[in-house]
Amino acid sequence: MARRRRRARGAAFAPRLIIMAKSPVLGIAKRRLGREIGEAASIRFYRSCLSHTVLRLASDPRWQTLLAVAPDKDAAQRFWPSPLRAPHLRQGNGNLGQRMQRLFARLPPGPAIIVGSDIPAISAAHVAQAFKLLGRADAVLGPAPDGGYWLIGLRRTPRILAPFAHVRWSSPHALADTITNLKEKRVAFAATLCDVDSGEAYRRERRDAERLMPRRS
């Protein structure tokens, strides 16, 4: 009986990873990218990146993975392909900060990390490093080269921090604004990774991928 109680308590405080995603359909996901490279190409990229992200991260036993879906009505849709069968949450309304704050507040106790679904280079090792850093900090951030961030984690004890007020989203100031909101808190920084939300970032990722492909003799 005591062993079962210890296991239940450990599960309640287990690390949790949330992958934020939009329904991978035209007109909902990657609209800015679609204006720059074409809607069909942008959705093909997003579906591939989202599937690979979930496949890489959801099977790792070191954390529980959840998929936070927007719009809310699509959280239970059957069109989600089989690799995306992680438990789904609804993001709710509001800007990015309001939606992330809501997700942090809804989870059971324990450390939690949120990542995006448009980061081609993301790996389980990156997430594991971020959880390790969070063990010694109040918050962890994964910077992006454009001034934003691809990952944020909060320890969430003894209370849930609120670092998203007045953040200038989709701007070069998003990371700096969030750090300002976390003043006097212990903040750690994970690896710098690139999210793909513009034609320039998409073309850079394509060039990097092509450089890694073996050349034909």
pLDDT over threshold 80, residue 191: yes
Amino acid 49: pLDDT: 92
- Domains annotated on the chain, with CATH: 15-212 (3.90.550.10)
pLDDT over threshold 90, residue 79: no
Full DSSP string of 10-57: HHHT--EEEEEEE-SSTTTS-HHHHHHH-HHHHHHHHHHHHHHHHHHH
Q: How far apart are CA 162 and CA 172, in angstroms?
A: 20
pLDDT over threshold 70, residue 82: no
> What letter represents residue 13's amino acid?
F
Q: What is residue 105's three-state secondary structure? A: helix
Q: Calculate the alpha carbon distances from 213 to 45, 50, 113, 210 in Å.
A: 18, 21, 32, 5
Above pLDDT 90, what percent of the chain? 61
Average pLDDT, the chain: 86
pLDDT over threshold 90, residue 23: no
Amino acid 28: pLDDT: 86
Residue 10 banded pLDDT, cuts 50, 70, 90 = very low
**pLDDT tens track for 194-217:** 999 888 888 988 887 655 444 554
Amino acid 175: pLDDT: 98
Q: How far apart are CA 66 and CA 149, in angstroms?
A: 19
Average pLDDT rounded to a whole number, residues 90-101: 95
The predicted model scores a pTM of 0.87
Can the peptide bond before residue 71 be classed as cis, meaning omega within 30 degrees of 0?
Answer: yes
How far is the first Cα of the chain from the last one, in angstroms, to the nearest whole number? 65
